[in-house]
Amino acid sequence: AKSGRYGAICYCNKVMLGELQRRREIVRILREKLADQSFEMYYQPIYSVEDGQFRFAESLMRINHSSIGPIYPSEFIPIAEETGLIIDITYVALEKVCRFINRLLEKGIALESIHVNFSAVQFSQPDLKERVLQIIERNGIPPSAIKIEFTESTLAESPQTVTEFVLDMEQYGIKMGLDDFGTGYSNFATVIGIPFGTIKVDKSIIWASAGNHVSASAVKNIIKTFKALGMKVVAEGVETEEQKEFVTEIGIDQIQGFYYSRPLPEDDMERFMLSHNGD
Ligand code: C2E
Ligand code: CA
Ligand code: CA
Ligand code: CA
């Protein structure tokens, strides 16, 4: 290189070009996967403190591309959201989850509900309610076997639309859950005014409070409030024995985290439920 300065500029451009190319490649892969519906859904078991069973799970999308290899949701979900592709991707995900629910129910596996993640952009669709009901009806699953999870930031962005949707879905027996609670977006008064089935406390809160008395008692009081309103409270990101004990002590109803299991492909999830759930 002639000078450090030019060298630096070249380097920057190369990195940016690399990022742009990767992004373009991911958009192409998302379109391709959407066309042949070849996204993979993984399932992370959720433990109920009350009875020690795993009757809930969260569905989490995975892409394993033949040439690029695995691409993680932290990278492809934001791109799917920016391009609007997430709207149809979510319907495909819901369809796959419904089929998996049918498979478990046909085998007589006791299942309460599987959670599906909805992004904020989903709520810009005027036919959202109809599409969701259509998919559930077509698959003939009990509506209560689906729980729609959306984040605090989604609620903050469009509280009116989301609240109406929650009330509508509740009428059909479809469950609703608030995700990422405590990440700082939502108004507490708004949250407690909406009939959520579950509130999921974000992993950052769990990690920060385990071993910290001040925040632990604050979290404990918030959980008490939710429970008094008839909501179930879920802890995510529980990785250690210590964290498991902590969340149990502060009154958490359900626990999700690597301590129990990582997200699993369908076959492994089915085996997990068969081997962990007794009578
Ligand atoms: P999320 O909805 O908050 O999902 C929980 C994330 O935490 C998952 O990451 C899960 O694998 C991870 N996790 C679970 N237990 C533990 C633990 O004990 N420790 C740690 N460190 N992590 C844990 P994942 O699967 O990479 O997904 C990341 C995010 O991508 C999700 O966060 C969600 O916002 C989004 N996402 C994933 N699948 C979908 C989908 O099908 N649709 C939409 N709209 N978003 C999705
Ligand atoms: Ca979630
Ligand atoms: Ca979460
Ligand atoms: Ca999250």
45 lines ligand 1 (CB under 6 A): no
What is the rounded distance in angstroms from the CA atom of residue 151 to the CA atom of residue 71? 22
CA-based diameter of the chain, in Å? 74
ipTM: 0.98
Q: Nearest-CA neighbor of 151 among 114, 189, 115?
A: 115
Q: Which residue out of 54, 236, 258 has the highest number of ligand 1 atoms within 8 Å of its CB and is therefore the one to mutate?
A: 236
The pLDDT tens digits along the chain (279 residues) read 444 455 555 555 767 768 899 999 999 999 999 999 999 999 999 999 999 999 999 999 999 998 889 999 999 999 999 999 999 999 999 999 999 999 999 999 999 999 999 999 999 999 999 999 999 999 999 999 999 999 998 998 888 999 999 999 999 999 999 999 988 777 888 888 898 999 999 999 999 988 888 788 889 999 999 999 999 999 999 999 999 999 999 999 999 999 999 999 999 999 999 999 876
Find the 53 Cα to ligand 1 centroid distance in Å.
21
252 lines ligand 1 (CB under 6 A): no
Find the 191 Cα to ligand 4 centroid distance in Å.
17
What is the rounded distance in angstroms from the CA atom of residue 116 to the CA atom of residue 133? 14
pTM of the model: 0.93
